């Protein structure tokens, strides 16, 4: 199992304005939005597991 902090460094935003940007480097307000959306959409839920 991968360390959750390591995953934040390795995962990249899959789409949109910040596509290709590591999740850890996203602006706070955008990260908050993404977290809310990911919890609503089953297809994105894997990003937070």
- Of 39 and 45, the structure prediction assigns the larger pLDDT to 39
Q: Which of 30, 29, 12, 34 is nearest to 21 (CA)?
A: 12
H helices present in the chain, as ranges = 4-10, 28-40
43 pLDDT higher than 60: no
pLDDT score of 41 more than 80: no
Tens of pLDDT, residue by residue over 1-36, are 568 778 767 888 888 889 999 888 889 998 888 778
Number of structural domains found in the chain: 1
> Cα separation of 18 and 42, whole Å?
21
The whole domain housing 13 covers 4-48
Structure tokens at 9: 């460094």
């Amino acid at each position: 199992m991968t360390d959750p902090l390591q995953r934040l460094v390795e995962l990249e935003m899959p789409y949109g304005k910040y596509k290709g940007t590591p999740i850890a480097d996203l602006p706070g307000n955008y990260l908050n939005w993404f977290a809310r959306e990911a919890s609503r959409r089953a297809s994105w839920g894997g990003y937070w597991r």
